Amino acid sequence: MSGRVLLHVCCGPCAVATVEMLRDEGFEVTGLFLNPNIHPLQEYLRRRDAALETAERMGFKLIVRDAEYDPAAYMRAVAFREANRCFHCYEMRLSRAVQIAKRGNFDAFTSTLLYSRHQKHEVIKGLCADLAAGGVPFLYRDFRAGWQRGIEESKRMGIYRQQYCGCLYSEVERYQKELRRDRDSSS
Ligand code: SF4
């Protein structure tokens, strides 16, 4: 199988093994960095630059949609349904990826979100299958098979590796142990 694939890219480290696996199958990969969920802006810039560095070093084109960095839109999308926030977060990013893939006449779309062991893999898979009804085939692969390879290679390349998923909620969850520790020590 071959063709032009639009790969939604959440970050540089997740792109490494994913791009390798797609290329091994003969696909021509174009990345798309479109992640309005990332908080704060400085973290967005750091991840964007890491994705650009990854693209440059691996030699694939990366479309960057800074103009669509809109954390307020993300917050509106998840407000009052925070328990299901990941679905809405995936939906807002991947539905745009499908639109861009369609406009660019890509043969298929997929996402590095399918690489992470920390994401809701089956939810992403089902959502992408539904979005494919928009006219661009969804290329499903279980990129988690390249998990260890991606970690090792991104470390070897010195690509910035983030400490939390992306949104404000995930940042709080990542560091709340430290908040508790501070509270305990001051009480
Ligand atoms: S935890 Fe990650 S996938 Fe879920 S809403 Fe936050 S940034 Fe999006």
pLDDT tens for each residue of the chain, 187 residues long: 679 999 999 999 999 999 999 999 999 999 999 999 999 999 999 999 999 999 999 999 999 999 999 999 999 999 999 999 999 999 999 999 999 999 999 999 999 999 999 999 999 999 999 999 988 999 999 999 999 999 999 999 999 999 999 999 999 999 998 877 776 776 6
**How much is the pLDDT for 32?**
98
Where do the structural domains in the chain lie, given as residue ranges? Answer: 3-186
Q: Which of 164, 169, 172 to mutate to test the pocket of ligand 1 (most atoms within 8 A of CB)?
A: 169
Cα 156 from chain centre: 21
**How much is the pLDDT for 1?**
61
**How much is the pLDDT for 178?**
84
Residue nearest to atom 2 of ligand 1 (CA): 165
Q: What is the CATH number of domain 3-186?
A: 3.40.50.620
**How much is the pLDDT for 6?**
98
**How much is the pLDDT for 187?**
62
127 lines ligand 1 (CB under 6 A): no
Residue nearest to atom 5 of ligand 1 (CA): 86
